[in-house]
Structure 1
Amino acid sequence: MNFPSKLIEEAVNEISRLPGIGKKTALRLALHLLKQKENVTEELTKSLLSLRKDIKYCGICHNISDSDVCSICAGKRRERGIICVVEDIPDVLAIENTSQYNGLYHVLGGVISPIQGIGPDDLKIESLINRIAQSPENEKVKEVILALPATMEGDTTSFFITRRLKEFGIKVSTIARGIPVGGELEYTDEVTLGRSILTRVNYSAE
């Protein structure tokens, strides 16, 4: 790709480093910013710098936060006896957007993957164990929901965490895996279809 300016080329190269953005999209974004008033670009730059420098991670669940404890962990109306364990921050946002869950979270920061050199010590698993062990009597954890990917790595991580939690005698559950709404059985993979049969639920006509 030929550029009329070295400055445009540098901007395109930096923007195209973002996930899901190719050189053509990066060029459109760069030219769009160039057409805007100077203060628009300055505000964007300030916002990105502030994001990078000032963002914090919750000291309890490891979610992104503006303070040492995130708004979810600090929330008075959250069900403190339930912790949903997720792989990463986007999973928290996805579950929160459903408005169907009112408990707490724990962000692992990944899943166990020997191929990629990621072991249990590289994740926030020990932090989860300590959190449960040290929870006050009035906020005792009763259930841990494992909302991890339906992959070999996700299953390995779930198995490891379940074994570590055995000593606490608390309920360990996992999110249901099945046919998506609007999905056709013909196009569903065998593993998903098999799990849907095994984890079937009662049907009511009422």
Structure 2
Amino acid sequence: MSIALIVVIVVVVLLIAWVALSYNRLVKKATRADSDWANIDTQLRRRADLIPNLVETVKGYASHEEGTLTQVIQARSRAQQAQQGAGDRGERQAAEQEVGQALVNINALTEQYPDLKADQNFRQLQDELSSTEDKIAFSRQRYNDAVRAYESTRRRFPAVILARQFGFDERDYFDEVTEEQRQAPEVNF
């Protein structure tokens, strides 16, 4: 066997090993991001499941606040449609932001209705929602960390070549802050 043939075989084996290792690294990071997205999805579903009970409890004390209650129900409905649809994560994120804003409006009602604030069922639902929001924030952070690691690996040369060849597409971060919320409020004196 000639030395040239041995060198070619070694180079081919090393190239195959590099491709396999790079591919497996990308798969591992993509799987982690998918898993962390599933955790966010679980918590968002939990929040959506709590909303009807919260709305019914609020109706008992503030039935004339129909606009706010309708807003919450409609936001939840849009979030569920985005969840079930084939839309992208950006659509889902926008729908979930709307749900979050609607829940802020419900919380504002508690200041106007002290009896509602004192209701045991309402307090329990608020505690569960608060806990769920904390879990969403934690899951969102983990997901964004996983996406950051995936994107960092995917964009590096020469892995970027493999990523394109094997369909490892770009992932979006899950950010609950909208552009309007990022803008500093205008203050006039």
Rg: which structure is higher?
Answer: 2
Q: TM-score, normalised by structure 1?
A: 0.21
The structure with the largest helix share of the pair is 2
Structure with more contact order per residue of length (Cα contacts < 8 Å, sep ≥ 6): 2
